[in-house]
C-alpha cells in the first residue's frame, strides 16, 4: 500500500474529495514517494492545481455527454463504435478526460448489453467494436467472455479492440481466462494499453504484455503528453524504445483533452510539435507515435500539423 500521503495539503484533499484518489499497490510500489516530481506519482497525486478554473477547460471536453446511441454506446467515427462496459478504473489518473463522468446507466451484463448489441447488429457498416470505460477489464472474465461471444455472433463485425490501462497498472489481470475470452472467437483482437512513461513498464508488466502477444493479440500503446511527466524528448524516446523492444507499437501521443481540473498538465502545441520532430530524428519511423488531438464532431482524430517532417 502507498504511504500516507506526505504533502496532501487542505486544497489537495479537497481535490481528492472531488475526484477520489485511487492507486493500485503494484503501481504505488514503483513510485519514489520522497520525490514530488516522480512521473508516476505526478499522474495520480491530487493537487491544489485541480481546483483552479481555467478558460477552455470543461467537464465534458469531448462533448460525449448525451451522445450515447443507446446506453453505453458511442459512435464517433465511421465503421467503429465504442462500447463503455464499466464506469470503474483500477487507477484514477488526474488528467483523465472522463474524470467528471458519472457513468450513469452504463450496461453491465447480458440484459443491459442487449440494446447496444441490437444497435450494432442493424448497421452492417460497423466492423470494429472498441470496448472502453472506465476500464473494460474491470468487468469479470466470465461476463467479458459472454460479451465477446455475443459480438462475434454479429456477422459484419471483424475486430474487437480493448482500450485498457489494466495491463500496465495491474498486470496480474492478464490471466488465462482473460486471454481465452479475448481470443477464442473469429474476431481479430487488438488491445491498446495506456502507458505514459517507461518507468511504468516493469518486469511484471512486460511479462503480461508478452502473454497478450503470445495469445495472438495485437498490442498497441497510447500515451497522453503530460507536463512534468513525459514532456521531454529523452523520456519519450525511452518510452517508445522500451515499447518497441517488447513488440508494442507506439500508436498515439495525445495532446491533453481540456478537462476541468487538469490544465496544469497541458503542454502547448508548439512544444509538442518540437518533441515529435525530435523523436522523428532519433527513432525509426515505426517507433514514433502519431501526435493527435480529439475535436468533437470531427470524423477522426486530428493529426497535429508538423509543418516539415524528416525522412
Ligand atoms: S485508466 Fe483511463 S479511463 Fe481510467 S482514469 Fe485513467 S485515463 Fe481515465
**What phi and psi, each to the nearest 5 degrees, are found at residue 182?**
-90, -15
How many Å separate Cα 33 from the centre of its chain?
24
- Alpha carbon of 88 to ligand 1 centroid (Å): 9
pLDDT value of position 108: 84
Q: What is the mean pLDDT of residues 81-109?
A: 93
Q: What is the mean pLDDT of residues 129-156?
A: 96
pLDDT tens sequence across 210-226: 999 999 999 999 999 99
- Answer whether residue 100 shows pLDDT above 50: yes
DSSP 3-state assignment of 219?
strand
- Alpha carbon of 62 to ligand 1 centroid (Å): 15
Out of 16, 60, 134, mutate this one to test ligand 1's pocket (max ligand atoms within 8 Å of CB): namely 134
Q: Do 44 and 73 form a contact (C-beta atoms < 8 A)?
A: no
| Mean model confidence pLDDT for the chain | 93
**Domains along the sequence of the chain with CATH:** 55-303 (3.20.20.70)
Give the whole-number percent of the chain exceeding pLDDT 90.
Answer: 83
- Answer whether residue 310 shows pLDDT above 50: no
How far apart, in whole angstroms, are the C-alpha atoms of residue 131 and residue 255?
Answer: 22
Ligand 1, CB cutoff 6 Å, lining residues? 89, 91-93, 96, 98, 133-135, 165, 194
Alpha-carbon dihedral of residues 126, 132, 133, 137, nearest 10 degrees?
Answer: 130
Q: How confident is the model at residue 7 (pLDDT cuts 50, 70, 90)?
A: low
**What phi and psi, each to the nearest 5 degrees, are found at residue 201?**
-100, 75
Q: What is the pTM of this model?
A: 0.94
Amino acid at each position: 500500500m502507498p504511504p500516507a500521503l506526505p504533502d496532501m495539503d487542505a486544497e489537495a484533499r479537497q481535490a481528492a474529495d472531488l475526484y477520489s484518489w485511487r492507486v493500485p499497490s503494484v503501481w504505488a510500489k514503483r513510485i519514489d514517494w520522497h520525490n514530488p516530481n516522480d512521473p508516476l506519482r505526478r499522474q495520480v497525486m491530487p493537487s491544489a492545481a485541480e481546483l483552479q478554473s481555467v478558460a477552455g477547460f470543461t467537464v465534458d471536453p469531448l462533448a460525449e455527454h448525451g451522445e450515447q446511441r443507446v446506453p453505453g454506446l458511442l459512435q464517433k467515427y465511421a465503421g467503429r463504435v465504442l462500447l463503455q462496459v464499466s464506469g470503474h478504473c483500477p487507477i484514477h489518473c488526474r488528467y483523465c478526460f472522463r474524470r467528471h463522468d458519472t457513468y450513469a446507466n452504463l450496461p453491465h451484463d447480458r440484459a443491459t448489453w442487449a440494446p447496444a448489441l441490437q444497435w450494432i447488429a442493424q448497421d452492417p457498416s460497423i466492423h470494429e467494436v472498441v470496448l472502453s470505460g472506465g476500464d473494460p477489464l474491470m468487468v469479470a472474465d466470465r461476463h467479458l467472455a459472454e460479451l465477446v461471444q455475443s459480438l462475434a455472433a454479429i456477422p459484419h463485425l471483424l475486430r474487437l479492440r480493448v482500450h485498457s490501462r489494466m495491463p500496465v497498472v495491474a498486470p496480474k489481470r492478464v490471466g488465462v481466462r482473460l486471454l481465452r475470452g479475448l481470443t477464442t472467437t473469429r474476431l481479430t483482437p487488438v488491445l491498446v494499453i495506456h502507458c505514459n512513461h517507461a518507468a511504468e513498464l516493469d518486469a511484471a508488466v512486460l511479462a503480461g504484455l508478452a502473454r497478450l502477444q503470445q495469445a495472438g493479440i495485437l498490442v498497441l500503446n497510447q500515451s497522453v503528453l503530460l507536463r512534468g511527466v513525459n514532456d521531454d524528448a529523452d523520456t519519450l524516446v525511452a518510452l517508445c524504445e522500451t515499447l518497441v523492444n517488447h513488440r508494442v507499437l507506439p500508436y498515439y501521443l495525445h495532446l491533453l483533452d481540456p478537462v476541468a481540473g487538469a490544465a496544469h498538465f497541458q503542454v502547448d502545441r508548439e512544444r509538442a510539435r518540437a518533441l515529435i520532430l525530435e523523436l522523428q530524428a532519433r527513432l525509426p519511423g515505426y517507433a514514433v507515435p502519431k501526435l493527435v488531438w480529439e475535436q468533437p464532431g470531427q470524423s477522426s482524430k486530428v493529426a497535429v500539423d508538423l509543418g516539415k517532417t524528416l525522412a
